[in-house]
Structure 1
């Protein structure tokens, strides 16, 4: 796919066997249209002992429904940016053309401060083991004006904050692209999970050169913490966390989206052979050489987008399916575990964990008076290494760095069982519906219960037409998953 400059956001790949016994990999683009259309599609070619072909039409009946509704939404667009945004989304889903979605995302960036915010497509890649294929998702949300003022102030001061980051100007973008940063209250979010904040689009060539939007989903944070249990802390620390956790997490989301995703430069070689940095005299390049083992120390033109280490090199987390498992998931969970272990291993008592009840309970203690000194130094040194890895796209070096701190060595391999004893059920978010009555719109709310969840879904999907489509698509794919079905029996 790299040789053909195909990005995997909106495709699935199926492996079958050709008539001559050679494996054939079918890269199937999601689109309404099903007929071949070069260069989007590609006839069968042989490459490194296997056949490859690119087809389209995956999820065709579902995307047809999506486009029908997007066409209706276009009638209510507030301006030309919104109209063009939706037009290019429709083109992308109809043709299976990722560049059309990128073009729609450019118009989305230009649509500054809308009252109603929406974005959809094959977006986040966290659930893909290879970290490349996007999960289809979409949201509709309303601006929280009061909270957005606070985030606007954060953006106004962002350039000053960036100068305080530990890696220095040579690994920072040539100019800060001031993003739109708003706090939204989610009306509906369709996907496998609802994040507390997002920084999109994910296309690095757009983020680096044209900009992005930061979004804090404000009503998700208090909902996620409602009635949550806090294990492994002293009573005093529990009270402190309960008092400040929502406010602290709002600040964390703001800084994470604005600075964590919005800062740092990709050292890139352009297609014409030039570089976007001084490859011979850049202090950043010299620092990268000290941090990473491979060469060259930049992102080559053959890679359409450089991986973001806090995403692609941390696809995994300590939530192992078993103690022996090597494949782990959940980027942010692993990152939190790595930061904790970093302070534990490098902090000389700054953070400690001990087993208070054998096989049943743990106590985490933190010397808060040392956070601004030793803690800041330890985290800063780690961030410099991480930024050098991000700038050069050195995934192997990043994985080695994260593996060092996320490995479950003794006693953590035992403590994992204790952690699982305290594991709480996953949150299920009950989302409202809207109903149009004449010139008025009614917001239908539901109880935060299993009954409320069922009622919300029944009223949202009153007929079974979508279910029929899903079942038909599942039957069409069944031959690719027959071995998995046999294992499940």
Structure 2
């Protein structure tokens, strides 16, 4: 049971945004304010998509800490005294509440594992009573129960999913998904529930349209309805409408119109149109994107979680990324696959360094490459975004297990700089690589008589994406992790080149140190990834970490003692990397692995590609002792405390909060979502 306890002392980091926000005009501040509100109005959608049973916990936490008279934060000291619980118990409740709000669920956004409070249930009841709130038996059980559904995943496997009712089997899910694909119905903003008649697909939208009913091949009925998360989608749409009065140009105006249509009607096609306009809006002072975007949490890999962000451009850093993009054709030509497997025209992405003002999500990333619609990115390209204040956020209490003592100072010095280079080339990597496709008219985007598959010398490409198929729909559950792994491999394959390091201002010995720390950090991340692997379920709980483990595996198997894991006298582990062999051993091994990832992806070879990836991410049975050491050494993940904007006397002001559990709670209470 103790393995599920909330972190005792997680590091809290404030996303510093004030200097960049204050540089905006009043019009831009209003635009940022309303788009921030639109993003955060989807907060309860995120909670429910992760765990519908956690929505009452979210409501309870806000009830406990919100002063009904002022709408602000209660006097926490008075609440603690009135409850009569010990100082330690009350602090544990603060920590649980802050971590719940940081993850927007009682499941970790990084790892998908349930966490519970460290205080006894009797003390929780006293705090609830002192606040004048009510704790139902069902909510109490949801908070504390770890006997079942402790991981997110397929209900059939004993896991929890917010996208499917608990009685939906994998066969049920595949049956419905096959029908949706056949009829070209996008599933991104949907959930599925079993009914007496068959199945019901509910679509997120502010309006409720007439439902549609179909007969499935098994004789059951499929109903497709609208109005899921209706209240939230209406509020999102209202704020988007208000933001439109402050748009900077016609691209933003057209984008907001498409957003409004998408969130009111549930149209994914309208959201695709918003992304086309968004891609045309190059280099705005305020950057924002919103919608059902990433499919990490859906075990089927096709339904997306709500998210929205608003950020300001860091112009100095963006110049570096602009230089990276300007030379993208040169860098992409170095990737380890034939030119026939690369896009005919490299659509140079708009690459920007941003400082986050607001990010409605359960886990703030360090970088983004969107949109995720391949039918758009293959034609129009994508935007790459590096989130500077996420990368630079540090905690003085942070520790770095598995790094040798002699490497520690160097690691601390260059961890963030090397990560900046890695994020830049990683996000650039997402926009590379051709997918072989067939359109509705039977036309192929490649010559099937001439294009040879490098994995089957002498034979041409035999498989490709048929009409309506996408990478996610073909590779399903592993798609997100597979693509993150591919992008990480691209970062390691490109970043050691001198001209790329020059762009970021690293030369000579410093450049070599940056490369070494980047590879060392990836090896450490791969080792730490074992924390997110469940050996009983044989299931990975986090897409990025599964991919990083695969790369760590490649490094270990590269040979010539390039990477060796050694046990220390105190029973811990150390990563011993021969930095002189990065370019001669490590990088070639990663590049060879990367080539296979790209070829399987390009050719829609789900069977071989899936087996290849599962083999690369399988954890040997005899690694149990290594995983036990990793678990003993695990560090709490950062909790990011974000600010809020308010309109006062027609001016938009930004309020930031203390980087602490109380600051996290106060920010959510005053956000009022």
- TM-score tier (shorter): 0.7 to 0.9
Write out per-residue CA displacement over residues 254-287 of structure 1, whole angstroms, 9 at most, x where no aligned residue. Answer: 00001x201110011122112111111113xx22
Contact 1:137 1:189 in 2 (8 A): yes
SS of the residue 1:346 aligns to: coil
2:25 is matched with none
Cα distance 1:325–1:291, how it changes in 2: closer, same or farther (>3 A)?
farther
Aligned to 1:88: 258
1:300 to 461, 466, 470: 466
Conserved? CA contact 2:301–2:479, under 8 Å: no
Aligned equivalent of 1:341: 553
Change (3 A) 1:269 1:312: farther
SS at match of 1:63: helix
> Structure 1 residue 275 and structure 2 residue 417: aligned?
no
Cα-to-partner distance string for 1:58-78 (whole Å, 9 max, x where unaligned)? 101110111111111111001
Cα-to-partner distance string for 1:33-89 (whole Å, 9 max, x where unaligned): 2231xxxx5313132343222111110111011111111111100111101101111
Measured after TM superposition, the shift of residue 417 of structure 1 is 1.1
SS across alignment from 2:534: coil
- Is 1:218 matched up with 2:384? no
**Aligned residue number for residue 361 of structure 1:** 572
What is aligned with 1:392?
A: 603
Between Structure 1 and Structure 2, the one with more strand by share is: 1
The alpha carbon displacement at 1:312 in A equals: 5.4
Unaligned runs of 5+ in 1: 19-23, 467-489
For residue 479 of structure 1, what is the aligned residue in structure 2? none
For residue 235 of structure 2, what is the aligned residue in structure 1? Answer: 65
Counterpart position of 2:209: 35
Q: Find out whether 1:261 has 2:430 as its counterpart.
A: yes
Deviation at 1:454, TM superposition (A): 1.6
- Asked whether the equivalents of residues 366 and 390 of structure 2 are also in contact (C-alpha less than 8 Å), the reply is yes
Alpha-carbon spacing, 1:357–1:58, altered in 2? closer, same or farther (3 Å): farther
1:379 aligns with 2:590: yes
Task: Tell me what 2:615 maps to.
Answer: 404
Q: CA deviation at 1:168?
A: 2.3
State the alpha-carbon separation in 2 of the partners of residues 33 and 229 from structure 1: 49
Query: Separation in 1 of the partners of 2:208 and 2:266?
Result: 9
SS, match of residue 103 in structure 1? helix
1:350 is matched with which residue?
562
Give secondary structure in 2 for the equivalent of 1:287.
coil
Q: Which TM-score applies when normalising by structure 1?
A: 0.87
Q: Which residue of 2 aligns with 1:329?
A: 541
Aligned positions, number: 448
RMSD: 2.2
Closer, same or farther: CA 7–115 of 1 in aligned 2, 3 Å: same
Label 1:2 to 1:289 Cα distance change in 2 as closer, same or farther (>3 A): farther
Kindly indicate whether the alpha-carbon contact (under 8 Å) linking 1:129 and 1:315 is maintained by their aligned counterparts in 2: no
Supply the distance in 2 between the matched residues of 1:414 and 1:50 (Cα, whole angstroms).
48
Q: Which has the higher contact order (CA 8 A, sep 6+)?
A: 2
Which residue matches 2:200?
A: 26
Where in structure 2 are the equivalents of 1:149-160 lying within 5 Å? 149-160=319-330
TM superposition shift of 1:403:
2.0
Structure 2 residue runs without a partner (length 5+):
1-179, 486-528
Whether 1:287 and 2:499 are equivalent positions in the alignment is: no
Q: CA deviation at 1:310?
A: 6.2
Whether the 8 Å contact between 1:289 and 1:297 is mirrored in structure 2 is no
Aligned to 1:311: 480
- Structure whose residues are more often helix by fraction: 2
Alignment partner, residue 174 of structure 1: 344
CA pair 291-210 structure 1, distance change in 2 beyond 3 A: farther
